[in-house]
Every structure is written in C-alpha cells, then in structure tokens.
Amino acid sequence: MSLIANSMSEVKESIANEGRYLFAKIYASFWFSELEKMNAETVNELKSYLNNHTFIGEFCGNPEQTHLVNYDSQQIRFFGIIDKNETFDAINPINA
C-alpha cells in the first residue's frame, strides 16, 4: 500500500480510512509530525537527499499493531538507503 502526499493536510484529506490503507495514513501522519519537529534547513537537506535516495524503514511502536519487540514509543526505524542512480545493494544508514 502507498500514500503519496506533500503535506499533513493532504494526508488528512486522503480517502485511506479503512483496512490496510488506514495504516498508510497512520504512517504518513507520523512521518509529517516528525518533519514538523525539524528546522527548515534540515528538512530541505532531507528533501534534497531524497531526490536521489529512498529510505527503507519500519514503523514501530503503534499499540494497534502487534510486533515482536515492545517499543516504548512510536518511531520509524530506518535500516537501509537505496541510491536511485546506482545498481548496487542498499546502503547501511550508519554508513550513509
């Protein structure tokens, strides 16, 4: 499932309100709330980086979803970065 949005208002207006599509809306809302905590310079650097890269991560800590690990808070745990212009495997975020 996917949800494409440029802002929190687009997430709220989306029709993804039921079933598995609701989770896309929950994840997108969390992502935009994290962006709101960053200063404008950091957000712009992130946007620039994401022009050529894709982050791979997992949304953890949602009490509505079961998980093998009990997380204290909701978070996105990134474990890989893909360079959109290369053909090699994912980049470990620690090395990016």
pLDDT of the chain, 96 residues: tens digit per residue: 677 888 899 888 887 677 777 888 888 999 999 999 999 999 999 999 999 999 999 889 988 777 688 888 999 988 888 888 887 777 777 776
33 and 57, same domain (yes or no) = no
Q: For residues 56 and 79, state if they share a domain.
A: yes
Residue 47, in any domain of the structure? no
User: Does residue 16 fall inside a structural domain?
Assistant: yes
46 lies in a domain? no
Phi-psi region of 80 (alpha: psi -120 to 50; beta: other; left: phi over 0): beta
Domain count, the chain: 2
Q: Is the dihedral of CA 64, 69, 75, 79 positive or negative?
A: negative
Q: Is 3 inside a domain boundary?
A: yes
At 36 the pLDDT is 95
Range of the domain at 75: 52-96
Q: In percent, how much of the chain has pLDDT > 70?
A: 94
Same domain, 29 and 63: no
Q: Say whether both 57 and 21 belong to one domain.
A: no
